[in-house]
Amino acid sequence: VATVAEPAHAATSVTINGASGGRTFDGVGAISGGGGNSRLLIDYPEPERGQILDYLFRPGYGASLQILKTEIGGDTNSTSGAEPSHEHTRGDLNCNRGYEWWLMEQAKARNPAIKLYGLAWGAPGWIGNGNFWSTDMINYLVSWLGCAKQHGLTIDYLGGWNERGYNVSWYEQLRSALNSNGYGGVKIVAADSDWTVAGDVDSNPAFASSVDIIGTHYPCGYRSAQTTCTVPSSATSSGKQLWASENGSDDYNAGANAMARGINRGYIDGKMTAYLNWPVVAAVTPNLPYPTMGLALTPEPWSGSYTIGKNAWVMAQTSQFTAPGWQYLDSSSGYIGGNRGNGSYVSLKSTNKSDYSTVIETMDAGAAQTLNFNVTGGLSTGTVHVWSTNVNSANPADYFVHAADITPANGSFSLTVQPGRVYTVTTTTGQGKGTAAGPARGAMSLPYSDSFDSDAAGTEAKYLMDWQGAFEVASCGGGRTGMCVRQMSAQAPITWDPLTDPHTLLGDLSWGNYTVSSDVLLEKSGYAELLGRANTQSYSGAAGLNAYHLRVSDTGAWSILSSNTSGNVTTLAHGTTSALGTNRWHTLSLAFSGSTITASVDGAAVGSAADYGYAAGQVGYATSQGETAQFDNLAITPGP
Ligand code: 147
């Protein structure tokens, strides 16, 4: 048996001192929204859906989020999709739209202590005649809080406009509106943008009294381009809690290094007391922007397949060992040996004043190091439990591993830390690593059809992923009974991302030769479209989509179009059929066979085109801007 000599580790002393000062910890968590990234989660079958939710929210099981931030939908694209508004048109209040209420309820059911935070990216165009910083928008947020109350949800934090700066008097008006409507306990975050707001909060007492938390995005650098987590002196001197109110934007596995650094270093460098990862899950198909970002990959409700990411376990290294309200111990937090390259550690003490946890990350270390801990200041000198995640490993068995307990001697103990890992040493118990696992990946099979008749009004039809506008289940018009899908955005929204026509996508990117058909009703003059072979969706520039379209307008004008990600639209064929008119049902179909594309209206072929630019892709619906068209009886059959 060969003997390997133990390397001589550099040793560093760390005192975990319960008498140290430090800020109150607010929590780590993630963002559902900004947007559409959670869309397919609600369509997962059980038991997989419940397993994913357990991995996200159940204490002592997985990521165990302490804060869930959700989008306040605005019927407009907010990155990877559009999320529905609770008030599409003035007065049309419905508190059961979309999936964010459901997600918040599922989170609270698993962890009643989870904090909830709402933020808008965009808004329906009726608000303030297109002006976000309006009284309409304040009333809209108060209505949203009322909806939350109907759902039995208490909202802890509310923001303004994601990454669009701030308006001082609007925030002051928001504070007074919340107070006078019974929401005095809701804390306001400003401005979910950069640090500019800190100067005004620091210098303007009236503004300062309207803002509870200064929340900044990517304060340690965007994605993996991290340097120091910087905060301006105005932020520190404002006395406000400081948050990294959005961070991450990285792959569900590859983002783990950045998260490990960011959670610790945000506090060490900048006294930031919350870290919110964007987004919570990747529940979108792979043709949409940021398809693998989040804590888990959940893109296939039809197969039930899901994968919990390394990010979830790195977050667990903090969340399972702390709680909002714990206190950082400043003199027991810093860089190992004072050198950023060695890694970092932060210590927090429990509200019971005895328990503590220290989270250590060695993302940039080049060698093993020995840490000699000394526990003092009234903290427990009892058994120390050790959990670790090997962030350099691709094997999930190396994440969130419970190592042997340590019994301190006279309050002292040692731990050797390897490079590229996160360790948590703690006197708390109750941690755990869930064991549920989903099935293998699999394509969505054809034929597929949906009459929408079993769906509840206000919900999103199964698998339909809105990109722009809001395609929602509603009672059919035009004298038809049953349920249909209706595009609910009646005018151009206040955008966050580039404005496009309302459209929504469904299905598998591998679908090649197929016929998609649907009944369509136009409520006013304009057009409706069936999309086919839709694949890459761009989110910058013109936010174009690679797809074929059959566009038919109320006048009877039809066209077969090819669009691309640059926003270019080419007419492949066009003509006129008998006028569709309004409030009448018609049937459209679009068939793909190799390079032949055939369009039909009411069962008769109107034209065809030869093009093979796109060989496969999803189906979809689209409308002209503001057209509240209805759709029914979606059917996709293989072959022409
Ligand atoms: C954020 C948005 O708030 C999210 O909705 C999502 O779009 C996310 C994707 O990374 O990005 O906005 C940012 C976009 C770019 C930077 C920072 C935030 N950036 O380049 O520093």
* Alpha carbon of 64 to ligand 1 centroid (Å): 24
Ligand 1, atom 7: closest residue by C-alpha: 79
Given this model, what pLDDT does residue 226 score?
A: 75
* Alpha carbon of 358 to ligand 1 centroid (Å): 30
To test the pocket of ligand 1, the residue of 79, 189, 223, 251 to mutate (highest count of ligand atoms within 8 Å of its CB) is: 79
* Alpha carbon of 237 to ligand 1 centroid (Å): 27
Ligand 1 pocket residues where CB is under 6 Å: 34, 78-79, 162-163, 217-218, 222, 246, 249, 278, 290
To test the pocket of ligand 1, the residue of 31, 161, 278, 288 to mutate (highest count of ligand atoms within 8 Å of its CB) is: 278
The residue among 203, 266, 257 whose CA lies nearest residue 230 is 266
Q: Which two tokens stand for residue 130?
A: 């297109």
In residues, how long is the chain? 640
Ligand 1, atom 2: closest residue by C-alpha: 34
- Ligand 1 atom nearest 249 alpha carbon: 10
- Ligand 1 atom nearest 80 alpha carbon: 7
To test the pocket of ligand 1, the residue of 230, 249, 540 to mutate (highest count of ligand atoms within 8 Å of its CB) is: 249
To test the pocket of ligand 1, the residue of 32, 162, 163, 467 to mutate (highest count of ligand atoms within 8 Å of its CB) is: 163
- Ligand 1 atom nearest 163 alpha carbon: 3
Ligand 1, atom 16: closest residue by C-alpha: 222
Helix axes 100-110, 135-150, angle to 10 degrees: 50
Regarding beta strands 547-553 and 527-534, do their DSSP bridges make them parallel or antiparallel, or are they unpaired?
A: antiparallel
Asked if 357 and 428 touch (Cβ cutoff 8 Å), the reply is: yes
* C-alpha 478, offset from chain centre: 37
Cα atoms found within 13 Å of the Cα of residue 463, Cβ hemisphere only: 20
Distances, alpha carbon 201 to alpha carbons 191, 276, 339, in Å: 10, 22, 33
* Alpha carbon of 232 to ligand 1 centroid (Å): 21
Query: Which member of 246, 300, 523, 627 is catalytic?
Result: 246
Regarding beta strands 327-328 and 187-193, do their DSSP bridges make them parallel or antiparallel, or are they unpaired?
A: unpaired
Given this model, what pLDDT does residue 7 score?
A: 54
* Alpha carbon of 163 to ligand 1 centroid (Å): 8
* Alpha carbon of 248 to ligand 1 centroid (Å): 9
* Alpha carbon of 100 to ligand 1 centroid (Å): 20
CA dihedral 336, 340, 342, 344 (to 10 degrees): 50
Buried b (16+ CB within 10 A) or exposed e, 450-464: bebeebeebbbbbbb
To test the pocket of ligand 1, the residue of 218, 223, 497 to mutate (highest count of ligand atoms within 8 Å of its CB) is: 218
Catalytic-residue membership of 83: no
Ligand 1, atom 11: closest residue by C-alpha: 249
Rounded-to-integer distance, Cα 363 and Cα 369, Å: 13
Ligand 1, atom 20: closest residue by C-alpha: 222
Asked if 629 and 520 touch (Cβ cutoff 8 Å), the reply is: yes
Ligand 1, atom 14: closest residue by C-alpha: 222
Rounded-to-integer distance, Cα 89 and Cα 91, Å: 6
> 604 pairs with which residues across the strands?
601
Q: Is the peptide bond before 260 cis (omega within 30 degrees of 0)?
A: no
- Ligand 1 atom nearest 121 alpha carbon: 5
- Ligand 1 atom nearest 539 alpha carbon: 7
Dihedral pair phi/psi, residue 55, rounded to 5°: -65, -30
* Cβ-proximal residues to 400 (8 Å cutoff; 6+ apart), any chain: 313, 316, 317, 387, 388, 389, 433
Q: Is the ipTM of this complex over 0.85?
A: yes
Ligand 1, atom 8: closest residue by C-alpha: 249
Ligand 1, atom 21: closest residue by C-alpha: 222
Rounded-to-integer distance, Cα 594 and Cα 639, Å: 10
Helix axes 310-319, 256-270, angle to 10 degrees: 30
* Alpha carbon of 197 to ligand 1 centroid (Å): 18
Rounded-to-integer distance, Cα 219 and Cα 405, Å: 36
Q: What is the pLDDT of residues 151-209, one digit of tens each?
A: 999 999 999 999 999 999 999 999 999 999 999 999 999 999 999 999 999 999 999 99
Distances, alpha carbon 51 to alpha carbons 62, 304, 496, in Å: 10, 11, 33
- Ligand 1 atom nearest 496 alpha carbon: 5
Count the Cβ atoms, other than its own, within 10 Å of residue 578: 11
* Alpha carbon of 115 to ligand 1 centroid (Å): 23
Rounded-to-integer distance, Cα 627 and Cα 40, Å: 25
Catalytic-residue membership of 46: no
Rounded-to-integer distance, Cα 167 and Cα 17, Å: 42
Q: What are the DSSP E strand ranges found in 33-121? A: 67-72, 115-120
* Alpha carbon of 465 to ligand 1 centroid (Å): 20
- Ligand 1 atom nearest 33 alpha carbon: 5
Rounded-to-integer distance, Cα 362 and Cα 367, Å: 9
Instruction: Please identify every stretch of the chain with a pLDDT value under 70, giving residue numbers as ranges.
Output: 1-8, 640
The residue among 478, 518, 482, 541 whose CA lies nearest residue 623 is 518
